[in-house]
Structure 1
Amino acid sequence: MSKKRTERGREKDRGHAEEDHSKVAADDYHCTGNLEADFPGLCALLGMKEIPAVIAKNPATESTIGKNLAHLSLRNNRIGDEGACLIGAALSTPATSNRHLVSLNLAFNSICDVGAAHIAKGLRLNRALLYLSLSNNRIGDKGAACLAEFLGPFALTHEEIVERRKALLERDHPPPMERATVEKQGSPGEKTSTRLFLIRRNGQVVLPGNSSLMYLNLSGNRISEQSLPLFLSSLRTQSEGGGLRRLYLQRNRFPLDCKHYVELQELMAPRDLLHDTTAVHMEEEQGA
């Protein structure tokens, strides 16, 4: 009896030792960064005999914002600069751009200058969004400067230029299987007419500002009078019949009778044919 107990004890010790060894080996495993290679290796170290198949998805092909989502409200959700960074990247990057979202409500959150800069960066190459509310956040003059910049002409970064050239090459020289489809859609002249015109200025490639956004609400933030000339400068470059139609800047850190704000109101009045402020009042009441 004593011998059998001793043998059983030894077998248990061996089992525990093997289990501990597998745990140590799994913990010490150095990932290569390739999921299809790392997953089977870790399963083998853990002693799994049947390893399930793994198919890695390319995150660059899947937008963070839903593929066919057109209207999104994230008001009053305590979203800060980190969340705004993700939202900005979902709106556009130098390589991709969301083409479905037309309205985005980020009112009554905690977005500061850094977050506003990320949102503005996402709107540099986005031409789908029509409505954006950033009212009642914590945006100051630095964030306002970024938001004013994309409304007027701005210089492309090196990365944006490279990605744009790649896109144009792919459009002009599609793969053989896609070439017939492209030719059916229109002639090369028709394709060229849909491109945005680029301007070379002082050694930089300048892109016309975002004239797709029609509604921008920045009321209830921390913007001072020094930011108003930036909005004036950008809006004056937008062509007649296009560009921003409504810009709300009430309840910021400047008097409503100051010179630049009066000039802004005079500039925007012909654009906003309805002169409707009820939407702002409803937004303020619902966010309280």
Structure 2
Amino acid sequence: MKQVVLCMISLRAFYLTDDYQCTGNIQVDFPKLCALLDIKNAPPVHSKTTEPERAETPEENEPRTTTLWMKPYLHVELENKSQLSCKGLRINGWKLDEHILQVLIKLIQQLNRLQSLYFWQAGLTDAMVMSLSNTLSLGCSLRVVYLEGNPLPKHSYHLLLSGDSVITHLFLRNNQIGAEGARLIGSALSTSKTANKNLLFLSLAFNCIGDAGATYIAQGLRLNRTLIYLSLANNQIGDSGAAHLSKILGEFPLTHEEIVERRKLIFEKLEKNIGSDLDEGLTLSENTSLVKPEPKPEPKPDVKKKETAKKEEKPEKGPANKENAPKKGAQKRPKSPDKPPAAKGGKAAGKKKPAPVEPPEEKSSVAVAEPEVELVNPLLDPLVHCKDGQVFLPGNSFLVYLSLAGNHITEKSLPLFLSSLEQQTEGGLLRLCLKRNNISPDCELLNKINQLLQLRDPNNKPAKPETEATENEENK
């Protein structure tokens, strides 16, 4: 019943605001749209050109947990001093209703420069997130979305990761996301048939995902080849969840469902190649084998036509006809316009030496383009191989940063991480944050992992101990 009411509200808001043409100035558009929907006590608009302070490393800072509603303001971030350069909208600590959300959706659709949308403890509901996700699938310019401190009963956060979503950075901190929400998010990241192709940055810090939720997230990373940053800090993850996350970094066996999907993709590719070969002149016989068509016999020359042509070419006798008669060799060029006459040695023969190279170039260009299409789906990775009766896929080497800080991981998980990282030969993880876990800083395996990552990324330098720092200062 509540969804029906929300749909009716959305339709009413659509018809009332459809005729209004936004100017791009939030100071003007927001009050007018609120007036059209008869919204009383609409929050004022506050614009500024400086960006608000945001945590660059979300796992290192404690989230704000206050539940007091602040005085409502619609904060507008401007790219420059012009009111038409809105690049961000922020709602901090005041509760939204359906009417205000419809106004924001109308603005989002019209703001060409809008890049980020920030909701902190805004009282969002599952229906509101659904409306927001439908708006983001319409091709707007919005790329960064913060949804922090907005717990949803039906865990609809995964709707922001649909196949049509254009979001590249998604922050879902402090939303009480558990195993069920993690399962939906993991399925949105990838399955054997679908995968998100736009999301680069995902923060799930300060939730309650646990080992079961970490397993679902690891499942979603198996075939995802887009995400490069993932934060699972402060999520009550233990060695079991860490083990599943470490396994997807190295090679892992495909499941039965993935093997079936891989065979389907290979079969579709073969059918496509056969179809392209047929377009080039190949035909299928009754037993479905490829047979080259026999060359058509050249038509026999017509003797009568040749005789008539010769008669027409013979000039009439007489002195006048001798002057108008064509010179020798003039009649031979029209007969073969595409093929020049054969040269007899000397310079003419030298000009004919370069052979045509167009056909080989065309074949090589096609051969180069095909592997790019194959690598779109990880199941068609050419490095897939069989071992011990199983089909193995190379691990996820696109994930660059993984934060597991503030969890319950012990030193038992370190051998698995080290083994998987050593299997990554191209690309792979550059930073693995394991701070505030049950791991000693002097652990030998942890030092090996840090050394391996430091070799990959020279900028990832470990902090020097205080004793070494003081000694260096004294020497100076």
Closer/same/farther in 2, CA of residues 206 and 250 from structure 1, 3 Å limit: same
Q: Deviations over 1:219-251 (max 9, x none)?
A: 1100000000100000000015x1001110111
Report if aligned partners of 2:223, 2:396 keep a CA contact under 8 Å in 1. Answer: yes
In the TM superposition, residue 156 of structure 1 has moved relative to its aligned partner by 0.3
In the TM superposition, residue 272 of structure 1 has moved relative to its aligned partner by 2.4
Query: Which of 211, 216, 226 pairs up with 2:412?
Result: 226
1:235 aligns with 2:421: yes
- 1:206 partner SS: strand
Q: Which range is displaced more, 261-270 or 140-149? A: 261-270
Query: Which of 209, 229, 253 pairs up with 2:395?
Result: 209
1:191 aligns with 2:376: no
- 2:266 partner SS: helix
Counterpart amino acid of residue 157 in structure 1:
T
For 2:220, the equivalent position in structure 1 comes to 122
Report if aligned partners of 1:246, 1:271 keep a CA contact under 8 Å in 2. Answer: no
Task: Find the aligned partners of 2:262 and 2:210 in 1 and give their Cα distance.
Answer: 30
For 1:273, the equivalent position in structure 2 comes to 458
Counterpart amino acid of residue 161 in structure 1:
I
Task: Find the aligned partners of 2:215 and 2:439 in 1 and give their Cα distance.
Answer: 21
In the TM superposition, residue 269 of structure 1 has moved relative to its aligned partner by 1.0
- 2:407 partner SS: coil
In the TM superposition, residue 173 of structure 1 has moved relative to its aligned partner by 2.5
- 1:187 partner SS: helix
Task: Find the aligned partners of 2:255 and 2:366 in 1 and give their Cα distance.
Answer: 30
Q: Deviations over 1:97-138 (max 9, x none)?
A: 111111111011111000000000000111111110001111
Task: Find the aligned partners of 1:136 and 1:277 in 2 and give their Cα distance.
Answer: 22
For 1:262, the equivalent position in structure 2 comes to 447
1:244 aligns with 2:429: yes
Report if aligned partners of 1:95, 1:164 keep a CA contact under 8 Å in 2. Answer: no
Q: Deviations over 1:183-237 (max 9, x none)?
A: 99x6256423634121110010000000011010011100000000100000000
1:83 aligns with 2:181: yes
For 1:11, the equivalent position in structure 2 comes to none
For 2:238, the equivalent position in structure 1 comes to 140
Q: Please list every run of 5 or more consecutive structure 1 residues that lacks an aligned counterpart in the other structure.
A: 1-61, 279-288
Task: Find the aligned partners of 2:385 and 2:443 in 1 and give their Cα distance.
Answer: 34
Report if aligned partners of 2:205, 2:234 keep a CA contact under 8 Å in 1. Answer: yes
Task: Find the aligned partners of 1:138 and 1:91 in 2 and give their Cα distance.
Answer: 21
For 1:72, the equivalent position in structure 2 comes to 170
- 1:72 partner SS: strand
For 2:257, the equivalent position in structure 1 comes to 159
Counterpart amino acid of residue 200 in structure 1:
C
- 2:455 partner SS: coil
- 2:456 partner SS: coil
Query: Which of 122, 131, 134 pairs up with 2:229?
Result: 131
Task: Find the aligned partners of 2:202 and 2:462 in 1 and give their Cα distance.
Answer: 18
Task: Find the aligned partners of 2:224 and 2:260 in 1 and give their Cα distance.
Answer: 17
Closer/same/farther in 2, CA of residues 277 and 73 from structure 1, 3 Å limit: farther
In the TM superposition, residue 80 of structure 1 has moved relative to its aligned partner by 0.7
Q: Which runs of 4+ in 1 moved over 6 A?
A: none
Task: Find the aligned partners of 1:125 and 1:188 in 2 and give their Cα distance.
Answer: 25
1:9-48 correspondence to structure 2 within 5 Å: none
Identity %: 51
Closer/same/farther in 2, CA of residues 188 and 159 from structure 1, 3 Å limit: farther
Q: Which has the higher helix share?
A: 1
The TM-score normalised by the length of structure 1 is: 0.68
Report if aligned partners of 1:84, 1:118 keep a CA contact under 8 Å in 2. Answer: yes
- 1:275 partner SS: coil
Provide the aligned C-alpha RMSD in A: 2.6
Report if aligned partners of 1:229, 1:260 keep a CA contact under 8 Å in 2. Answer: yes
Closer/same/farther in 2, CA of residues 215 and 277 from structure 1, 3 Å limit: farther
Q: Which one has a bigger Cα radius of gyration? A: 2
1:107 aligns with 2:205: yes
The TM-score normalised by the length of structure 2 is: 0.42
In the TM superposition, residue 268 of structure 1 has moved relative to its aligned partner by 1.0
Counterpart amino acid of residue 169 in structure 2:
H
In the TM superposition, residue 70 of structure 1 has moved relative to its aligned partner by 1.3
